[in-house]
Amino acid sequence: MEQKKPKVLLLATGGTIAGKGAPGKTTNYRPGEISVEELIETVPGLGDLAEIKSVQFANVASIALTHQDWLNLANLINSEFSADPELRGVVVTHGTDVLEETAYFLHLSIKDIRPVVVVGSMRPATALSADGPLNLLNAVKIAVSQEAEGKGVLVALNDEIHCARDVTKGNANKVETFQSPYCGPLGFVKGDNIHFYHQPSRLHTYQTVFDTSGLKDLPRVDLAYSHIMADGAAIEAYVERGAKGIVIAAAGAGAVTREMSQAMEKATQAGVVILLGTRCGAGLVGPARQEMLKRGYITADNLNPQKARVLLALALAHTDNLETIQDWFNNC
Ligand code: ASP
């Protein structure tokens, strides 16, 4: 008797993995051009691995996605999981540019133990040696594997499996772009086998308190970069635009100019939360001491600024208590 295939939900959002260009070329292509059905057809054997239910969630370059899309995506995945106990896992195809942000948002918002794997590619579907088909095949292998359960949202590219919290796009062009600085990948795909070597140690998915089901939007959180001669202009503009939080990509473990610091101080007096992170690419800032929290400052731990922005926006959608938010930064 033929064995029942595991069920996988494939949500396509666009990106280079769905990109089209001149035959064979790796540059000058248009992301988000081919449909989810065409994407499936580029992967021989995908249908043998799993029964795939596909949804064209969007078909855009990832930078065009919005907070609304994140909320809709998280709520869709949560409702599909709760409606179908036989669903084994979810795969999300995504542009690589801001993949780490969507993946981290889902890592904090999905309320299920089953795997969610976010996948992209650096070369369009029409390129010579396109990396998308193998990345997608690997993502489905991971999504149906028992070992991937309970590890939160995973990012699969280039035969590596990364934790959504740790991973970042580290190179604008190369196929081996995704890295988890100082943490390393959780595992690897080798042929038909999935090999895990590490576990995420921070709270994720079903372990967090975050509930996106009733959220209409996320509060505005902006990002300001520290450098010599940076004045407070960006921070003042963000406050004027209604920012509820501002992430500072500080030099080193928290350095900013006197002018930037004065603007930060003024922002906290206006009720804006200032989150200190680092522009270094690795390393941690914090945890914030009591007197910092009282003044309206919190710290990012080792989250990079764009990931810290995700957690701060989600946190501010749930509370304005800075001790609670700092606690989430220390534990998520
Ligand atoms: N521009 C693409 C995006 O949608 C880049 C990629 O997928 O690699 O993020």
Q: How many domains does the chain have?
A: 2
* Residue positions counted in the chain: 332
Does a structural domain hold residue 216? Answer: no
Residue-level pLDDT at 278: 98
**Which atom of ligand 1 is the closest one to the Cα of 98?**
9
Residues 189 and 305 in one domain: no
DSSP designation for 138: H
Best CA proximity match to 314, nearest among 240, 245, 223, 264: 245
Report d(CA 51, CA 112) in Å as an integer. 20
Does a structural domain hold residue 212? Answer: no
Residues 52 and 179 in one domain: yes
> Atom 9, ligand 1: which residue's CA is nearest?
95
HSE, side-chain direction, 13 A CA sphere, residue 239? 17
Which positions ≥6 away from 315 have C-beta within 8 Å?
A: 324, 325, 328, 329
Domain hosting 267: range is 221-331
Which positions ≥6 away from 85 have C-beta within 8 Å?
A: none
Residues 102 and 132 in one domain: yes
Q: Which residues are near ligand 1 (CB < 6 Å)?
A: 15-16, 31, 61-62, 95-97, 120, 122
Residues 160 and 30 in one domain: yes
Report d(CA 46, CA 119) in Å as an integer. 15
Residues 184 and 51 in one domain: yes
Residue-level pLDDT at 288: 86
Does a structural domain hold residue 188? Answer: yes
> Atom 8, ligand 1: which residue's CA is nearest?
96
pTM for this structure?
Answer: 0.97
Each of the 332 residues of the chain gets a pLDDT tens digit; together they read: 667 999 999 999 999 999 999 999 999 999 999 999 999 999 999 999 999 999 999 999 999 999 999 999 999 999 999 999 999 999 999 999 999 999 999 999 999 999 999 999 999 999 999 999 999 999 999 999 999 999 999 999 999 999 999 999 999 999 999 999 999 999 999 999 999 999 999 999 999 999 999 999 999 999 999 999 999 999 999 999 999 999 999 999 999 999 999 999 999 999 999 999 999 999 999 988 889 999 999 999 999 999 999 999 999 999 999 999 999 999 99
Residue-level pLDDT at 158: 98
Residues 154 and 88 in one domain: yes
DSSP designation for 324: H
Q: Which CATH number is 258's domain given?
A: 3.40.50.40
Measured between alpha carbons, how far is residue 252 from residues 248, 311, 316 in Å? Answer: 11, 21, 26
